[in-house]
Amino acid sequence: MSFARIFRLLLPCCGGVLLFTACAGTDLGPVSRNVANAELMIQQAREDGAVQYAPMDLHMAEEHLKEAQKALEDEDGERAGRKAQTAMEKARLAQKKARAAKAEAEAREKEESLKTLKNEVNRKLAD
């Protein structure tokens, strides 16, 4: 088989690969999903009490989300992806801090209830 014949056979394949690669570079679908996931995670952190228990982490997550959304509008998929990932990490941290703080508050409340109950029992026994 001659070089010219091989070249003619491979040229359409190479063009298709180059076209596919170029189109894949502008596909913002996965990045859009990451930005949407970051938004959902931030909402979940809010619902778990991050506004009260982890406001700084929540604020940082929201700022990174805004930057991700702006980068997505600018069709800068790489930056949007990085910012969305950071927003998700900050939201996850805020959510964990909020859950931990709520659990700690509940534990303190139960401890106080137990203390009150013990005092009442001791008073009844002393009577």
* CA 116 from centroid of its chain's CA atoms: 41
Q: What is the pLDDT of residues 10-67, one digit of tens each?
A: 555 544 444 344 444 567 899 999 999 999 999 999 999 999 999 999 999 999 999 9
Asked whether 28 and 72 are in contact (CB, 8 A), the reply is yes
Q: CA-to-CA distance for 72 and 109, rounded, in angstroms?
A: 45
pLDDT of residue 59: 98
Greater confidence, 78 or 6? 78
Q: What is the pLDDT of residues 80-117, one digit of tens each?
A: 999 999 999 999 999 999 999 999 999 999 999 999 98
| Residues 6 or more apart whose Cβ sits within 8 Å of residue 54 | 45, 93, 94, 95, 97, 98, 101
- Cα–Cα separations (whole angstroms), residue 98 to 59, 75, 104: 13, 34, 10
- Cα–Cα separations (whole angstroms), residue 29 to 20, 36, 73, 75: 15, 11, 12, 11
| Residues 6 or more apart whose Cβ sits within 8 Å of residue 30 | 81
pLDDT of residue 15: 46
Domain ranges across the chain:
28-126
Token reading at 113: 């209830």
pLDDT band (50, 70, 90) for residue 124? confident
pLDDT of residue 40: 97
- The pTM for the full model equals 0.69
